[in-house]
Amino acid sequence: MSLSPDPWVWIAAILTLAVFSFLYRENPFYRAAEHLFVGVSNGYFITFTWHRILVPSLIDPVGHGQKLWLIAVAFVGALYFTRFIPKISWLVRIPIAIFLGYGSGMSLLRSIEAGIIEQVKATVVTRAMFANWQTGLWAIIILIGVICTVTYFFFSAERKGVLKPVSYAGIVFVMVGFGASFGYTVMARISLFIGRLQFLLGDWLGLIR
Amino acid sequence: MAAQSGAKRHTFWEILQRIDRRWIYLVVWLVVMVPLIKPFPVKPVASPPVQQMFNYIDTMPEDKALLISVDYSPDTQAELHPMTIALLRHAFATRRRVGLVATYVYGLGLAEDALREVKREFDSVATSHEDSIISGEDFVFWGWTTPLLTMMLGMGEKITNVFPVDYYGARTESLPMTRHVKNYNDVGILVSIAGSSMPISWVAYAQTQFGLRIGCGTTAVSAADFYTYLNSGQFTGMLAGMRGAAEYEELVREKMAQMDMNWHVRNRGTEAMSSQTAAHIAIILFIIVGNIGYFATRRRKS
């Protein structure tokens, strides 16, 4: 065992243990670590945005008399802060509207293309999918799964006749999906814990090399 | 009285049903910790999505760059950081040019940390200046900018317009790598390593608009959602969770061994596999015991 001489490793280790102490019960050490995390994260984000974005992209050029139109853009952006002044808080709608319009316009078609059209194409069974029996079998299972699941979420008709067994099969597919997600979630949470233990046992205590 | 004392007696299964969850935490802690200190051998075997990504990067044209988007923050570092390191090792071992961007401010430090670690590994065995890994020639760390959409779309036109200076403050126009990597046409594959839905955003903007090939490294939580993109061919490959990282590390280790690059490196994903295996066995046992206990106590009550 060789303890780390780095004071930052010690600080990180103590904060990690403070967060883990929540597993026993709520306590001031956990709360202190949580508040510190939120404060440091926001401070880092604001500082970085100021030095790497606002200063080189806005303050420097405008200060040198270049790109003066940026003043108008900055003014519109600054309207976000009117939220704190009740009398003129309605002005916040202007930058929100611009941002929403820009975001929707940029993403609408591309999201439909990537998230719907390409996905539907991948569900269609083609002759090429039967190049070997395994891909063919999976393609058929996926097609059946999609049809049954979509049927399960079709609420405009009563579930009777053919809709009943199909929607029942749909919920089986949904449950299998949930099971897979849960298994992966367990794996993820354990991985995060392993990561912290690798730090505590390796970087801090020197028990892992 | 006899009836009361009888009601107080609990069976083994009833005690298990009421066990304080802190005992479970303690067991999980031990089950994870012991194999980390005394590991048992687990050799990761590459699954098809991991092999697919490895093969593509390994065989893509030499003039094409690997672009890594560090789309995660320290909360998912344990799962995703080993992927970034393994990808960098693979790229530097096969002398591919690498570009790095971060879509979160918090990813910048992690990307820099991964670059520093892998660069040090290669530089420590380099015998000449050409053998070492040089910023601006072998890789460019462009850093982070906002807004995201403008970055993703702008890089398809001209990267230096989006990033006039790199993370270290160098003018990107003057970097030697900029002569070879101008926009997405010069990129073989972009691998988005993300703890969020960022890989889907890369597909929506960079792939749909510019036809860029996208690979994905994701947390295990998101993996089930991303399989549909793998099935549709929108992802060229996928590394899912720490296991995906370990599988890629193993492929890179084999590749580097073939190339006589046998120096010792720390593979954090592979190192964690014995703990992960033990933890999974423990959780499976908890689920089985919990269910048996539930049905046994229910039958007793009825």
- Test B241 with A194 for CB contact under 8 angstroms: no
For residue A168, is it within any domain? yes
B122 in any annotated domain: yes
What value does the mean pLDDT take over residues B258-282? Answer: 93
Cα nearest neighbour of B240 on chain A: A184
Count up the domains in chain A and report the number.
Answer: 1
CATH code, B236: 3.40.50
State how beta strands B139-143 and B187-194 pair: unpaired
> Which residues of chain B make contact with A181, given a CB cutoff of 8 A?
221, 224-225
Domain membership of residue A156 (yes or no) is yes
Which of A103, A177, A187 shows the shortest C-beta gap to B243?
Answer: A187
pLDDT band at B296; cut points 50, 70, 90: confident
In a domain, A55, yes or no: no
pLDDT tens, B277-286? 999 999 999 9
Residue B2: predicted pLDDT: 46
Of A44, A103, A185, the CB nearest to B149: A103
Residue B43 lies in a domain: no
With beta carbons under 8 A apart, name residues in chain B contacting A185: 220-221
The pLDDT-based confidence of B8 (bands split at 50, 70, 90) is low
Chain A CB contacts of B76 below 8 Å: 192
β-strand partners of A20:
none
Q: What is the mean pLDDT of residues A39-43?
A: 94
CA atoms within 13 A on the CB side of B44: 29
Retrieve residue B168's tokens: 């270290």
Crossing angle of helices A93-112/B148-157, nearest 10°?
50
Residue A54 domain flag: no
Domain that holds residue B33: 2-38+277-301
Residue A94 within a domain? no
Same domain, B283 and B264: no
CA B135 – CA B122 distance, rounded (Å): 13
In this structure, are B22 and B72 located in the same domain? no
Residue A6 has pLDDT above 90, yes or no: yes
Cβ under 8 Å to B: A residues 142-201: 142, 177, 180-181, 184-188, 190-198, 201
Instruction: Assess if residue B168 is contained within a domain.
Output: yes
Same domain, B216 and B255: yes
Q: Is the pLDDT of residue B1 over 50?
A: no
Does position A76 have pLDDT exceeding 80, yes or no? Answer: yes
Only one residue has tokens 């393994």, namely B86
Q: What is the count of structural domains for chain B?
A: 2
**pLDDT tens digit sequence for B220-240:** 999 999 999 999 999 999 999
Could you give the 3-state DSSP secondary structure of residue A132?
A: coil
As a whole number of angstroms, the distance between CA A38 and CA A196 comes to 19
d(CA B244, CA B82): 10
pLDDT attached to residue B3: 47
Q: Mean pLDDT over all residues of chain B?
A: 92
Establish if A164 belongs to a structural domain.
yes
- Quick one: B80 and B114 in the same domain? yes
Compute the average pLDDT of residues B171-196. 96
Paired strand residues for B189: B66
Q: Could you tell me if residue A107 is inside a domain?
A: no
In a domain, A191, yes or no: yes
Query: pLDDT tens digits for A101-159?
Result: 998 998 899 999 999 999 999 998 888 888 889 889 999 999 999 999 999 998 888 88
- DSSP state letters, B104-170: SHHHHHHHHHHHHHHHHHHHHH--STTTS--BTTTEEEEE--S-HHHHHHHHHH-HHHH-SB-TTS-
Query: For A123-134, what is each residue's pLDDT tens digit?
Result: 988 888 888 898
Q: Which domain holds residue A148?
A: 126-209
Q: Are residues B103 and B124 in the same domain?
A: yes
What are B28-51's pLDDT values in tens digits?
999 999 999 999 989 999 999 999
Q: Does the beta-carbon distance from B232 to A121 stay under 8 Å? A: yes
